[in-house]
A and B are shown apart, each in its own frame.
Chain A
Amino acid sequence: MNIAIYVCLGCMLVFGVFSAASRKLIISAVALAVVSAALGVLMYVLGAHTAAIFEVSVCSGLVTVIFISAVSLSNGDKQIEAQDVAVPARKRRFLPAILIGAGAILMIVAWLTGFSVGTPAAAVSGANFNDVFWETCQADIFGQMVALIAGASAIVVFFKESENE
């Protein structure tokens, strides 16, 4: 089980860095989906089954579809690639090294301090769906609903033509 945890963490680190460092938006979106999938597996291994299903279906599935659709519709991938030519490759080379280095340091610190992940998982695994997603999280669900409204307002403000135009 420990091996699965470290494999998932490693995948998340590598694909997360790849997602940030990639020149193409679509590849970044796919790498991000892999990070979410690895996180989903990690959650499942740790006993948070309901959260794992949501992570895989929403973050890895739905969000990736939205990302790729948005990139395809806006044709932004070509624009980003065109801008990217101007960025010196020398500068980009350091980013993955820094991020992977930071991740490695975190893992060493976790190992040295006897990092344990058992307790929270036990607290979540015993609860049923209703408890996890409604009875204990109504405030968060309300907050996320408002966040969705804020997101919709952002789209209206940034992408709709102005009333006077």
Chain B
Amino acid sequence: MTVLQWIPHLFLALPMLALIVNNVIPRARIRTTTIAMSATVAGAQMLLALAGVFLLVESGESAVRFGMIWDAGKNVGYFQTDLVSMFLLMCVGMVALASALTALTTIDDHRGSYTNLLMVMMLGLNGMLLVRDLFSLYVFLEVTGLASFVMIGMYKSTRDLEGAFKYLALSALATIFILTGLSFLFIKAGSLAFDALTPALFSGAGDGSTLLCWAALVLLISGYSIKSGVAPFHSWLPDAYESADTAVSIMLSGIVTKIAGVYSLLTLTRLFDGIAPLKTVLALLGMFTILVGALLALAQKNFKRIAAYSSVSQMGYILLGFAAGTNLGILAGLLYLFSHSAAKSAFFTNAAALEKQLGTLNIDEMGGLQKRMPITSGSSVVALLSTAGVPPFAGFWSKLMVLLALWSAGLKGYAAFALIASILTGAYFLRLQKKVFFGKPNPRWDAVVEITGGIRVSEILLTIVTVAVGLVFPLLLLYLQRAGLI
């Protein structure tokens, strides 16, 4: 077996191994190192997936199929990884690393449970990215949802439980939609394997079972939209992000909604490529989401709620990229997902730093913190500029690619809207920066000092990623072009 064939096994084996170690060794002995162990697993996944991306491009293969670890080397393939999933596995590792580093400071109680749940969440996300049929995708989606629900309500305060309950209630609704949609598709296709689901299922006008396929598509889009928190299905998201521990919010905002919702929608567009109404629906959802998220972010006073609504808004750009329906559009959507994951994780890490040092997240009570917390301020400014699409940060290139993809696909109106809506992104983030880090210093925070420990490391790492990816982006595009991928 080659290295490329071994790497995918580790995405399931490493979190499972960490789960076992975390529960076999007595809790008192492992208490101080348990989160460090989960950070190591996340970091290892990030590096392995990065290596996997390059190995896959160099090998010229489109995908690697594999079974469970005891089937290694045999010709079985319950799982599959391609460039898209390998790239997203890297994003999962990056965000999980940021979450674990933040948790070193923010989580004191429930450290063992946090590690258990983070590993379960990683298994759920990795599983979603590796499976080859829609039902297995649903199974791992539920695993991710269950871990998210428990993590949100982990501290059992009224606010935590309210956020967790809202998430649970809307997830249950999404589950009903998704399962009903899957059963309708199963009736028509006789299988839910990706290979069996093709646009041909939708041909045959007047046929009752074709009508079921369209109903399935509507139900699946609705279910996955709830999971991704796009407008108008976003009501659970700000409450869940605000009430959860910031280390958990980083996972939810940075990657869970992206994989559970957006990746599932991407899977639908890839399976049913050529179904025009699907792309139109995604484009309209994307536009509405950008507008609603940005306008609601402008009205918030809590740092985490602004970041949460911003997350809703930015999801719209990813959907617009996928709505273009071309290779360039999918690549643009994925790169936007990556840059947004890095920037949003940085924002939530900033929130953790502010909450730890100030004890509040109300931006009206802050002001002039730039001198007191220069690293947090710098990290926040870089994340703002990247999200707003200012060069040379990662967000600039990904937003540019989304616009180019829409323009080249003939969706010029959507491209113009996306460009104009960027002003709204700049507006709510400039307001946030002005109120928190600049403006008149609040004497109440004279004794405040910069955050240390895992949160600081996380802030610096995410800022380096955002800047470095922005700087090497043209080279990356040339590399992908040489490999024939764009």
Contact = CB atoms under 8 A, between A and B. Distances in A.
Nearest to B20: A149
A123 B191 contact: yes
B60 to A, nearest CB: 26
A147 interface: yes
B127 A138 contact: no
Contacts of A147: 139, 142-143, 146
A137 B478 CA distance: 41
B474 interface: no
Contacts of A138: 67-68, 78
Contacts, number: 94
A154 interface: yes
Contacts of A158: 150, 153, 156
Contacts of A116: 187, 209
A5 B253 CA distance: 44
Contacts of B133: 139
Interface of B: 12, 16, 19, 67-68, 78-79, 108-110, 113, 116-117, 120, 123-124, 127, 130-133, 135-136, 139-140, 142-143, 146-147, 149-150, 153-154, 156, 186-187, 190-191, 208-209, 211-212
A83 interface: no
Interface in A131-165: 138-140, 142-144, 146-147, 149-151, 153-154, 156-158, 162-164
A142 B131 CA distance: 11
Contact of A142 (B108, B120, B127, B186): B127
Contacts of A163: 109-110
B19 A154 contact: no
A55 to B, nearest CB: 15
Given A156-B113, A157-B110, A150 B136 contact: no
B139 A113 contact: no
A153 B148 CA distance: 12
A138 B248 CA distance: 30
B12 A142 contact: yes
Tell me whether chain A's interface is mostly helix, strand or loop, or mixed: helix
B67 A157 contact: no
Q: Which residue of B16, B120, B133 has the most chain A CB atoms within 10 A of its CB atom?
A: B120
Given A153-B150, A157-B113, A162-B109, A146 B186 contact: no
A164 B109 contact: yes
B136 A140 contact: yes
13 contacts: A113-B208, A115-B212, A120-B190, A144-B139, A146-B140, A146-B143, A150-B120, A150-B143, A150-B146, A153-B150, A157-B110, A158-B150, A162-B110
A1 interface: no
A147 B124 CA distance: 9
A114 interface: yes
Contacts of A85: none
B140 A143 contact: yes
Given A113-B211, A113-B212, A158-B153, 11 more contacts: A113-B209, A138-B67, A139-B139, A142-B12, A143-B136, A147-B143, A150-B117, A153-B147, A156-B116, A162-B110, A164-B109
A86 interface: no
Contact of B19 (A114, A149, A151, A156): A149
Interface residues of A, number: 28
Given A139-B79, A151-B146, A146 B110 contact: no
Interface of A: 112-117, 119-120, 123, 138-140, 142-144, 146-147, 149-151, 153-154, 156-158, 162-164
Q: Which residue of B16, B139, B186 has the most chain A CB atoms within 10 A of its CB atom?
A: B139
Given A123-B191, A139-B131, A150 B150 contact: yes
Q: Which residue of A112, A139, A140 has the most chain B CB atoms within 10 A of its CB atom?
A: A139
Contacts of A140: 135-136, 139
A114 B208 contact: yes
Contact of B116 (A113, A143, A153): A153
A157 B211 CA distance: 44
Given A113-B208, A146-B143, A147-B143, A139 B117 contact: no
B383 to A, nearest CB: 31
Contacts of B211: 113
Contacts of B19: 149
Given A149-B120, A150-B117, A153-B117, A115 B186 contact: no
